[in-house]
Amino acid sequence: MLRLPGGLVNAHDHLEFALFPRLGEGPYPNAKAWADAVYRPDQSPVREHLRVPKRDRLWWGALRNLLSGVTTVHHHNPDEPEIFDDDFPVRVVRNLPWAHSPDFSPDLAETFRRSDPQQPFILHAGEGTDARSAREIRRLRDAGLIVERTVLVHAVAVEDVSPASVIWCPSSNLFTLGRTRKTLPPRCALAADSSLTAQGDLLDELAVAETVAATVEPDRSRLLDLVTRSARVVLGLPDPPDDDFTLFRDRGLPIADALFDSPRGDLQQVVVRGRLQLTADAAPVPGLEPILYGDRRYQVRAPVGDLLARAQAVLGPEIRLGHKLVRAG
């Protein structure tokens, strides 16, 4: 098998939205216009999805990542220490300073200045194609908030955001804004974002990224770097731990090609903290439950039957995770 030390890293997600459908009918000029259009908590489908217990929704978010070979994810929302423990299926990057965005974080400048200057500071910014979104980046720069430790999620409005890093989410950008970035900075990560706007999971995001590679220039090796080494650099993470890895079937191809030529079929195992969290093996494994994800069958270390039963009680019999039909295996 092909072993990927550390596994895949999803640098940006909102785990609790993994069961949601895509919301909105873009393109919109900016993220605020999208949010204003779709935030209807008292209407379907948001109303029903919010009735699924939050703990369960976070677990579904973990499974969306695990089922795409991810071992480590950054959750761009408050920490949930009682949930993100050693029994959670994936590692959640903890305690990085962050803010949502200039529009929804009125105390952004103060939050930034109070945060640890040795850590990355992550926020959505420049998420739009209009003059307002470009001005947002300029104002952040004028306020001294775009520095080397700044990590901008999306940053579609302005190509030059140096010396900051960028987290690139092309399928979300294309869905909400109708376009994505034209270039990628030296420090960049590729991320799946949430199911509210993304096409699927991180493997799907890699496929989308390859379709726009002629615009942003990376080859497959660079794209693999954006979900491994470069993602760790952007998030300020240490070298991958020895007890995290993802295994792919060895077809005699470089691992970058294995991720693109047959990603679902090639994913074989995910190990986090030294524990087997996912396997494609058919033989039952104690502690793991079978799950059918789209057209692929796996076993995962999660209470699949209970999670499905509670979700179906609210949402009906057809449950989609990252827009793929999910069933007990």
Above pLDDT 90, what percent of the chain? 89
Q: 217 falls in which pLDDT band (50, 70, 90)? A: low
Residue 286 lies in a domain: no
User: Cβ contacts of residue 245 below 8 Å, gap of 6+?
Assistant: 3, 4, 5, 6, 7, 71, 270, 271
pLDDT for 60 beyond 80 = yes
Q: 193 falls in which pLDDT band (50, 70, 90)? A: very high
- pLDDT for 257 equals 85
Residue 315 lies in a domain: no
Residue 159 lies in a domain: yes
CATH code of the domain in which 175 resides: 3.20.20.140
Residue 83 lies in a domain: yes
CA 312/CA 308 separation, integer angstroms: 6
Residue 329 lies in a domain: no
- pLDDT for 260 equals 83
The number of folded domains in the chain is 1
* Pairing of the two strands 8-13 and 70-75: parallel
DSSP state of 240: P
- pLDDT for 235 equals 98
- 261 or 303, which is more confident: 303
CA 79/CA 120 separation, integer angstroms: 16
Q: E strands, the chain, where?
A: 2-5, 8-13, 70-75, 91-93, 121-125, 150-154, 165-168, 188-190, 245-248, 267-272, 275-279, 289-293, 296-300, 319-321, 324-328
SS3 for 7-70 is: CEEEEEECHHHCCCCCCCCCCCCEHHHHHHHHCCCCCCCHHHHHHCCHHHHHHHHHHHHHCCCE
Residue 291 lies in a domain: no
Q: Residue 171 is part of which domain span?
A: 9-241
Taking only the tens place, the pLDDT of each residue in 97-124 is 999 999 888 899 999 999 999 999 999 9
- pLDDT for 262 equals 73
Q: What angle do CA 316, 318, 322 make, to 5 degrees?
A: 120
**Residue 250 vs residues 72, 80, 121, 233, 254: alpha-carbon distances, Å:** 23, 37, 38, 28, 9
Taking only the tens place, the pLDDT of each residue in 219-267 is 899 999 999 999 999 999 999 999 999 999 998 888 888 888 777 778 9
Using DSSP, state whether 146 is helix, strand or coil. Answer: coil
Taking only the tens place, the pLDDT of each residue in 37-59 is 999 999 999 999 999 999 999 99
Residue 324 lies in a domain: no
Residue 277 lies in a domain: no
pLDDT for 297 beyond 80 = yes
Q: How many CB atoms lie within 10 A of CB 47?
A: 12
Q: 174 falls in which pLDDT band (50, 70, 90)? A: very high
